[in-house]
Structure 1
């Protein structure tokens, strides 16, 4: 969990608590160490977040404190809505559900006079006309291995039906209308390659980290596109 996310979760835990919470109890809820919680609480209090702590008793968030509202312009809201619509129509089931969740959250936090931009938008994208043929590949796991910077071993068939085996370094799962691709550095070709997900016959998710940072690889790939 990123530190910014953890700080937010600490505030949420304290807000929901019916009484003081010890650092140990907070650490258990966040599945982190007590030392980390102490450090995060100190950081929050240094930013003048009204948290009171008493030795042997626990920590309390003063009543009346809240996070500043999410401030979005009408155009920013429409951009979020349009993007979420496209993801809901064209991404895999996990991301589609996440996109719908994002819209529900945005609708819940924007001011009342802007809510119509989410509930009855004037921007839209066509619904998917056909189901994306992903074969048996788990796109969520492909994204996870890209984030973890771990190698994949692919059993792949190309447009001519030729089958090959590749070890690759995944950097991106691309969602294009009508097709989805894994973008990766191929050890066999010593270059970046695109692998259509419906042509992946099998994927071995290896525990081997690849030697370069994904951000560096992505910059190199983007430089080739220019």
Structure 2
């Protein structure tokens, strides 16, 4: 756990108690040593957090202390809400639920007037998710393979209904507004290839791991597309229409 996150959790422990809390209790909750707790208490005190201590008893926050809430302008809140709804409507269930939980945390600290206004008006902003299960198919497995740098094998059906099996190094996911695409290094072609997720019929992760480099990565692929004479827009249109450059 990073120090900043640990300090935030320590502060929450102190805020949640009406009385004192011992260093041992804090250490057990944070799964650190008491010595670390002492250092963290000192760091918070030096940051002007009013922590009171009673020798041999424990610590507590001075009564009346509250962290200032994060303040959002109304249009900032609407921008965040739009982002959440886009994730919910156009990505998989796992990411959609995570976006919703994150926004719940934001709403929990809003001042009452802004919270009430948002609750009364949030129905006007809608991102339909009619095709969510279709366009985000296999995205959970693909994200896991990309993060773990694991080779995958897919059965792919082109728009011409031709099926092929490919062993790929998955590099990244790109959303074009209607479809998600996978940018990958194709072992068969020994080159970059782009596949529409909704055209993948089967997918399996393999034990083989790969490494990216300056000349084999998603940024490198994007840079190559941008440098082509026909321009990046032509590449985008090709990805949408064919899903693969074969």
TM-score bracket, normalised by the shorter chain, equals 0.7 to 0.9
Structure 2 gaps, min length 5: 227-246
Q: Which has the larger radius of gyration?
A: 2
Partner of 2:167: 165
The CA deviation string for residues 62-96 of structure 1, in whole angstroms up to 9 with x for no partner, is: 22222111111121111011111212222211222
The CA deviation string for residues 13-34 of structure 1, in whole angstroms up to 9 with x for no partner, is: 1111343333332232233454
**Alignment map for 1:118-129 (pairs within 5 Å):** 118-121=119-122, 124-129=125-130
Tell me the CA shift for residue 166 of structure 1.
2.6
Structure 1 gaps, min length 5: none
Tell me the CA shift for residue 144 of structure 1.
5.4
**Alignment map for 1:106-185 (pairs within 5 Å):** 106-115=106-115, 116-121=117-122, 124-133=125-134, 134-135=136-137, 137=138, 139=140, 142-143=142-143, 146=146, 149-158=147-156, 159=158, 160-168=162-170, 170=171, 172-183=172-183
Partner of 2:40: 40
Contact residue 145 and residue 151 of structure 2 kept, 8 A: no
Partner of 1:16: 16
* Larger displacement relative to structure 2 (201-210 or 150-159): 201-210
Alpha-carbon distance in structure 1 between the residues aligned to 2:126 and 2:152: 33
RMSD: 3.5
* Larger displacement relative to structure 2 (34-43 or 124-133): 34-43
Contact residue 88 and residue 96 of structure 1 kept, 8 A: yes
Q: How many residues align?
A: 217
1:202 alignment partner, SS class? strand
Q: TM-score, normalised by structure 2?
A: 0.69
The CA deviation string for residues 76-120 of structure 1, in whole angstroms up to 9 with x for no partner, is: 111011111212222211222233334433333323333323541
Instruction: Decide whether aligned partners of structure 1 residues 179 and 23 sit closer, same or farther in structure 2, where only a CA change above 3 A counts.
Output: farther
Contact residue 155 and residue 165 of structure 1 kept, 8 A: yes
Contact residue 153 and residue 206 of structure 2 kept, 8 A: no
Tell me the CA shift for residue 155 of structure 1.
0.8
